Amino acid sequence: MSLLSTRGLSKSFAGLKAVENVDFDLPEGQIRALIGPNGAGKTTFVGMLCGRTAPTTGSVSFDGHDISHLPAHRRINLGMAYTFQITSVFANLSVDENVALAARRRLEGPEVATHVLAALQKVGLQDRLDQRAGDLSYGHQRLLEIAMRLVQDPRLLILDEPTQGLSDSEIDAFKRLIRGLVPQTTILLIEHNMSVVMETADMVSVLNFGKILAEGTPDDIHANADVQAAYLGTG
């Protein structure tokens, strides 16, 4: 069964079709990568999934229920969590205080500290509990934001360019982290780093000019001539 799906999802800005008639199905427990060239409509598409952007036409469903008109915070309460390209940590708070704020959406009392530490251990920031979030490197702020989402125990985790700013060793750790989250967590990964896509994704969807160009396994997508011409640069 699909945990997340869209039907005929479209968004136009002043007559320009950023996303056009997209049918998309993400089965529960899968890691799906969404790739495509800059300007393909990925950010707009994800914004509609998360409730930050209202669709022009079409629908978004989560766990079998139409959520097209629900605001972002209601979708979070249903079990969706997401990070975006621009980090949204609280710079003046400590690392653990950032994660604790997110944890208190669903937890209280001693459980908060326990789950905060567990989330920080998953992303490798457990030794930076008291550090001011604004003093972290950009890559570590990305990891902190992922911890803030993981502590909410989401059913669906949407990650937009999560490895941007990470070192090679941190990217390797991120790959292990992502694989370890399934099948309890379903993941939609918007990513330009093709090694991350090839090594973590079960399936890949390619968006180009606001439309789904191709879908398949990483090997299928890598061998697809249309994808090579439009995105991978080998056509």
Whether the Cβ atoms of residue 120 and residue 99 lie closer than 8 Å to each other:
yes
Average pLDDT over residues 53-82: 95
Q: What is the mean pLDDT of the chain?
A: 93
> How far apart, in Å, are the Cα atoms of 226 and each of 189, 229, 230?
21, 5, 6
**In this model, does residue 95 exceed pLDDT 90?**
yes
The pLDDT of residue 60: 98
**In this model, does residue 235 exceed pLDDT 70?**
no
**In this model, does residue 19 exceed pLDDT 90?**
yes
Tell me if residue 4 falls in helix, strand or coil. strand
Spell out the SS3 assignment of 186-220.
Answer: EEEEECCCHHHHHHHCCEEEEEECCEEEEEECHHH
Q: Which of 20, 153, 161 is nearest to 6 (CA)?
A: 20
Residue 88 and residue 81: Cα distance in Å, rounded?
Answer: 13
Residue 48 and residue 44: Cα distance in Å, rounded?
Answer: 6
Average pLDDT over residues 146-152: 94
**In this model, does residue 28 exceed pLDDT 60?**
yes
**How confident is the model over 216-228, as pLDDT tens digits?**
999 999 999 988 8
The pLDDT of residue 191: 92
pTM for this prediction: 0.91
Residue 31 and residue 44: Cα distance in Å, rounded?
Answer: 20
Distance of CA 45 to the CA centre of its chain: 12
**In this model, does residue 1 exceed pLDDT 90?**
no
Whether the Cβ atoms of residue 96 and residue 130 lie closer than 8 Å to each other:
yes
Question: What confidence tier does 87 reach under pLDDT thresholds 50, 70, 90?
Answer: confident
For residue 13, what are the β-bridge partners?
16
The pLDDT of residue 164: 87
Which of the pair, 231 or 79, is modelled with greater confidence? 79
**In this model, does residue 196 exceed pLDDT 60?**
yes
**In this model, does residue 231 exceed pLDDT 90?**
no
**In this model, does residue 188 exceed pLDDT 70?**
yes
Pairing of strands 31-35, 203-208: parallel
Residue type at position 179: R
Q: What percentage of the chain has pLDDT greater than the value 70?
A: 98
Of the chain, the end-to-end C-alpha distance in Å amounts to 35
The pLDDT of residue 234: 47
